Amino acid sequence: MRHQLRLFTETLPTPIGTLVVISDDNDDLRAIDWLDYDDRMRRLLARHYGADGVILTPAAESSRHVSALAAYFEGNLHAIDSLMTATAGTEFQKRVWAALREIPAGQTVSYADLARRIGQPTAVRAVGLANGANPVSIVVPCHRVIGADGSLTGYGGGLDRKRWLLDHEKQAVECAEDSVSSAPALPW
């Protein structure tokens, strides 16, 4: 019999819907998705770990992941930066996902930019597919990738959520910059 991976589920209400947060025994994130996309998340887990490869169990207590994500939604964009992920996927997908984490909050890049960043400038379509297969949205910020013309393109949680996340990050960055620029000058 094949080993089943026990994963722990939590939910987090946010201004744009309820998030489902899934982690493992090592306290690594395995998946994040919107509750209204639960079927898609289960298909993704089955694709990565096999049809009967995971056992989903409600978490006994709230994790640091949920606390960090709650802080992110309250405006502390860097609260999620140190969260560790453990995702299945190809080596190419993992390279794309690592590059996504290097996009600063409040900024966007195109799929072509992302392909260049991983050293494969002709792999734009493959980068788009890897971006769409990202199982740990928000923490691995696939919402920060836009079309070459600046348009919002696909997001697994819907374009309204993508727009909200980008606006949320832009406002939080601007607010942080304003508070730094309005700080009193030092006397020396």
Is 175 an active-site residue?
no
Q: Give pLDDT tens digits for 104-147.
A: 999 999 999 999 999 999 999 999 999 988 999 999 999 999 98
Catalytic-labelled residue, pool 7, 96, 109, 142: 142
Higher pLDDT, 19 or 52: 19
AA letter at 66: V
The whole-model pTM stands at 0.88
Give the pLDDT confidence score for residue 4 in this predicted structure: 84
DSSP state of 175: H
Q: Give pLDDT tens digits for 2-51.
A: 578 899 999 999 999 999 999 998 989 999 999 998 888 888 888 888 88
